[in-house]
Amino acid sequence: MSGLMQRDRVYEFLVPKVVDDLDLSHGTVLYMEDVSVSFDGFKAINELNFYVEAGELRCVIGPNGAGKTTMMDIITGKTRPDQGAVWFGQRMNLLRMSEPEIAQAGIGRKFQKPTVFEYHSVFENLEMSMNGPKGVWPTLVARLNVEQKERIDQVAETIGLTEHMNRSAGLLSHGQKQWLEIGMLLMQNPLMLLVDEPAAGMTHQEMDRTVELLTGLAGQHSVVVVEHDMDFVRALNSRVTVLHQGTVLAEGNMDQVQNDPKVIEVYLGE
Amino acid sequence: MILRILKNDIGGKVFLLVLLTTLIAVPVLNQLPAEHTFHISIYTVTLLGKYLTYALLAVAVDLVWGYLGILSLGHAAFFALGGYAMGMYLMRQIGERGVYGHPELPDFMVFLDWQELPWFWSGFDNFGFAMLMVLVVPGLLAFVFGWFAFRSRVTGVYLSIITQALTYALMLAFFRNEMGFGGNNGLTDFKDILGFSLQADSTRLALFVASGVALALGYLSCRALVKSRLGKVAVAIRDAEDRTRFIGYKVEYVKLAIFTFSAMLAGLAGALYVPQVCIINPGEFQPLNSIEVVVWVAMGGRATLYGAVIGALGVNYAKTWFTAAFPEIWLFALGGLFVVVTLLMPRGIAGLFSRKKGGES
């Protein structure tokens, strides 16, 4: 009932569920408005507003418990917020879609811990991740055509794993697994990539490669990167959003954000 | 087509070649005079045929356990249901030759003083319909069971326990006379199948060959499934279920489809088993039976399919030999075998071959 009393919102039952085409006419890919979620009374996300432009590379930073991962969970449909609206483009209401539907719609997520299918080869990992019909029957009778093979080769080249195509993913190094996971996301041809701590546990060389990879992807895809490593964020040279206690504390480029008194207080003050 | 399915499957090629040779050699050797060294008695032929149906059941279990990660401790239930469907057909074939000589009702119904055939027995005098039910009944049960279990995301040990409960519940139900499946005596006293006497050597040979063909086809269809992209997705679900869901596959439906298919294979195995042993009773639903199947698969080697066949044949041969030679210690021997295999050969007997070939496949 409380929903009906809030006159500034569209009534729940009037909100359309899924529309096939994504309307990006306003240039914004993702809208999160007034989103709150609490776990056992703890407000993980608190009236958060967050927007992502088409083709933008965005970094999200913030201390532990700021709600970064929860925010990702809400976008991908893993967690349902208590209130608020989350829209993908102008027409897709993410709150009404299941996890696979959201993935199909074009939001790909890379997890903190690299989870690739260790038993399968790099090629098979990419093959399975390819966008297209994923029902039981189409999957059973699926055959790779030349175009699709080319696409797999192309993505493998982007992520620098061409030479490792036929190795089991379980035998790759940590950094290579991270890239493979990004490659798996790319196979889905996503409009937006959510990348959770890509640099964790990487060597410096691997980090440089990752920066190259991510900046290369922006433009064709919107990329949202959650990261702790400040050098890495600086190297990405993008717009930065600082989260704190579930809300946006500051937004701007890295220099602006670092000189923001509120940010300094949160990071250094306590 | 077959060659394409078997590409890179050396174990499978060897297995099918051996199976084919056996299917040809056994009937030939059976024709030899009884005193000949290489003569194979009809008793042995039926025994082998029974093992082949067990092997098909093991392949069905390996498909869901080895490739999909569902440890089903209730697959014998699907086997038994397929067996009952076949048993009902064989019952109807007895006709007036029953002890009570009733033209329509099987003996146990006359004994219970039933006046007419229950509705669910109708149609079973037709072989085609009965064969359809052999697949449909286990398939439907697996579908409904899987629908609820997989949708509520029950996995791992909990799922195994529920499958165990399923077969136990069915056993208790089939023990009841009111169910209309012969109670604890089950269905027996079969006379003939498709007009051929079940006691005739030629029928027994035919059933043996049919079991072998069913095993070969079952193996090939499972291998084709495993090699398809769906098979790769199944393994992905086994290893990282959430990840598979995230790249857009409806994990529940994949599980449901493969589980149902596996149950149908188990039903087919049961249907071939019953005419060879000439009895089906609720004992087939015993939880222990399902666990034994899992032991065969574990011993033979999971996720190889042919390993399941090796395990089923090996353990059952050992069982036949042991229960004849040292009847009291059979269960200890089975337990001991299982311990030894799990400790020393984590990838089962099939794992020994692939290690010789040179490590990881």
| Per-residue model confidence (pLDDT) at position B7 | 84
What mean pLDDT is predicted for residues B272-294? 95
Is there a contact between B232 and A120 if contact means CB atoms under 8 Å apart?
Answer: yes
What are the tens digits of pLDDT across the range A200-258?
A: 888 888 899 999 999 988 888 899 999 888 889 989 989 999 999 889 999 998 888 88
With tokens 């009847």, the residue in question is B327
State how far residue A41 is from chain B, nearest Cα, in angstroms.
26
What mean pLDDT is predicted for residues A170-185? 91
State how far residue B242 is from chain A, nearest Cα, in angstroms.
10
3-state secondary structure at position B86: helix
Q: What is the ipTM of this complex?
A: 0.84
Is there a contact between B240 and A188 if contact means CB atoms under 8 Å apart?
Answer: no
Q: Of all residues in chain B, what percent carry a pLDDT higher than 70?
A: 98
**Measuring CA to CA, which residue among A111, A123, A134 is closest to residue A157?**
A123
Chain A residues with a Cβ under 8 Å from any Cβ in chain B: 76, 99-100, 103-104, 109, 111, 115-120, 124, 127-129, 131, 134-136, 139-142, 168, 184, 188
- For CA atoms B51, B317, B58, B303, the dihedral sign is negative
Q: Where are the alpha helices (DSSP H) in chain A?
A: 2-5, 68-76, 99-105, 122-129, 136-140, 146-158, 174-187, 204-217, 230-236, 254-259, 261-264
Task: Give me the amino acid identity at B40.
Answer: I
pLDDT at B360 over 80: no
3-state secondary structure at position A82: coil
Instruction: List the domain boundaries for chain A.
Output: 56-77+98-269
Name the phi and psi angles at B316, rounded to 5. Answer: -70, -35
| Per-residue model confidence (pLDDT) at position B357 | 45
- Of the partner residues A119, A134, A184, the one whose CB lies closest to the CB of residue B249: A134
Q: Give the chain A residue whose CA is nearest to the CA of B240.
A: A117
Task: Give me the amino acid identity at B306.
Answer: Y
pLDDT at B361 over 60: no
State how far residue A114 is from chain B, nearest Cα, in angstroms.
10
Quick check: A34 and A77 in contact, CB under 8 A? no
Q: How far is CA B69 from CA B62, B64, B202, B241, B287, in A?
A: 9, 6, 41, 10, 20
Best mean pLDDT range from A142-156, B205-219, B325-339: B205-219
Quick check: B55 and B61 in contact, CB under 8 A? no
Binned at pLDDT 50, 70 and 90, residue A16 comes out as low
What pTM was computed for the model? 0.85
Q: Give the chain B residue whose CA is nearest to the CA of A118.
A: B239
* Protein fold of A56-77+98-269: Rossmann fold (3.40.50)
Is there a contact between A140 and B230 if contact means CB atoms under 8 Å apart?
Answer: yes
What are the tens digits of pLDDT across the range A103-129?
A: 888 888 887 777 899 999 999 999 999
Quick check: B307 and B361 in contact, CB under 8 A? no
**Measuring CA to CA, which residue among A193, A189, A188, A11 is closest to residue A93?**
A11
State how far residue B307 is from chain A, nearest Cα, in angstroms.
19
